Amino acid sequence: MTKFDQGIIQANIKKSALPRSLPSKNDTSFLWGLLILVAAFLLLMKESVNDAYFFKINQASQHFSPELLASITDMGNGVVTGSILVMILCFKPAWILRVLLAAVICLLVTHLLKSYFDAPRPAALLEQINIIGDVRHSKSFPSGHTATIFLLAGTAYLSSRRLLSRIFFVSLAIIVAVSRISVGAHWPIDLALGAIIGWLSIYAASLICKERLLSPRYQYLILTALLLLLGTLSAISKNEFPQMPIVEQLQQLYLVVAAFCLYVSYLFNRHMTTSNIIH
């Protein structure tokens, strides 16, 4: 083990002696959130309710800028959500393994259900609806964007006990989820199940995988590899909004900010290491 690793570990041991926010398996507020999502899903199983909410939200979205709605809904894209998760993990490194496991669970469950149900999207059944971006007709159920953004919200919720942080990320997840209806990509029930999958994925991962602080070199290796993967996906994936360059530019901005956070985290830890060695 290098002096750098030893210094960081010593610094983290000192931090662990202080009161800090830790995830709780008995976090009742988190489970209440899950109960609300399940209740919403059961309510939306009634076709008339599902259709009514879709038309109300989709028609109301005509009063907002298409670029704004596209930018909001793209926050559920894996590249953007992954970039924000990297930013969080720079300051919550003990959650790296949990988040990776949750991402795998979320990805597998979402894609398996999409392929199994192959449900038609609104554009396949309705004619006069507001559609922003590419028109898609199949694999509507559940919403992948909603699953990923709720995985992010669940991670922020469990890894922090700051009320404002929790409110911010849950509110963000709800707004991004609703925007999937605004752009005409999903039914409300798709969002409900997607939210349940994302919310449950990080909770299940937190139960399966204990909070574990990896060696600093592995932390930065994993996060750097993740950023490179996200950058590659951003470059080769088809943009859902080809007529709106702002969406792609924002994706690149999230990646740059995530890389900057990782670099700053590295410099800060190196400085802390040097201070520990000197003292």
Per the domain annotation, does 2 fall within a domain? no
Taking the C-alpha atoms of residue 195 and residue 154, their distance in angstroms, rounded to an integer, is 10
Which of 192, 188, 190, 201 has its CA nearest to residue 81? Answer: 201
pLDDT at site 45: 96
Per the domain annotation, does 63 fall within a domain? yes
Taking the C-alpha atoms of residue 20 and residue 161, their distance in angstroms, rounded to an integer, is 9
Residue 126: CB partners within 8 Å, gap ≥ 6? none
**What's the chain's Rg over C-alpha atoms?**
20
Q: How many domains does the chain have?
A: 1
Domain boundaries, position 142:
27-278
pLDDT at site 210: 83
251 close to 259: Cβ distance less than 8 angstroms: no
Per the domain annotation, does 10 fall within a domain? no
pLDDT at site 23: 43
Per the domain annotation, does 69 fall within a domain? yes
State in Å, rounded, how far the first CA of the chain is from the last one: 19
pLDDT at site 16: 38
Predicted structure pTM score: 0.89
pLDDT at site 260: 96
pLDDT at site 278: 55
Query: For each of the chain's 279 residues, which pLDDT tens digit applies?
Result: 454 454 444 444 444 333 344 445 447 899 999 999 999 999 999 999 999 999 999 999 999 999 999 999 999 999 999 999 999 999 999 999 999 999 999 999 999 999 999 999 999 999 889 999 999 999 999 999 999 999 999 999 999 889 999 999 999 999 999 999 999 999 999 999 999 999 999 999 999 988 788 888 899 999 999 999 999 999 998 888 999 999 999 999 999 999 999 999 888 877 766 665 555
- Residue 162's CB: how many other CB atoms inside 10 A? 11
Taking the C-alpha atoms of residue 223 and residue 117, their distance in angstroms, rounded to an integer, is 34
Per the domain annotation, does 8 fall within a domain? no
Give the type of residue at 1.
M
Q: Residue 225: how many CA atoms within 13 Å on its side-chain side?
A: 8
Output the CA–CA distances (angstroms, integers) from residue 217 to 16, 85, 209, 222, 224, in the order listed. 20, 19, 20, 9, 10
Residue with tokens 């559609």: 131
pLDDT at site 228: 96
Nearest-10 Cα torsion for 50, 55, 56, 58: 120
Per the domain annotation, does 6 fall within a domain? no
Per the domain annotation, does 197 fall within a domain? yes
Per the domain annotation, does 18 fall within a domain? no
Q: Kindly state the tokens that stand for 265.
A: 């985290």
Taking the C-alpha atoms of residue 150 and residue 169, their distance in angstroms, rounded to an integer, is 9
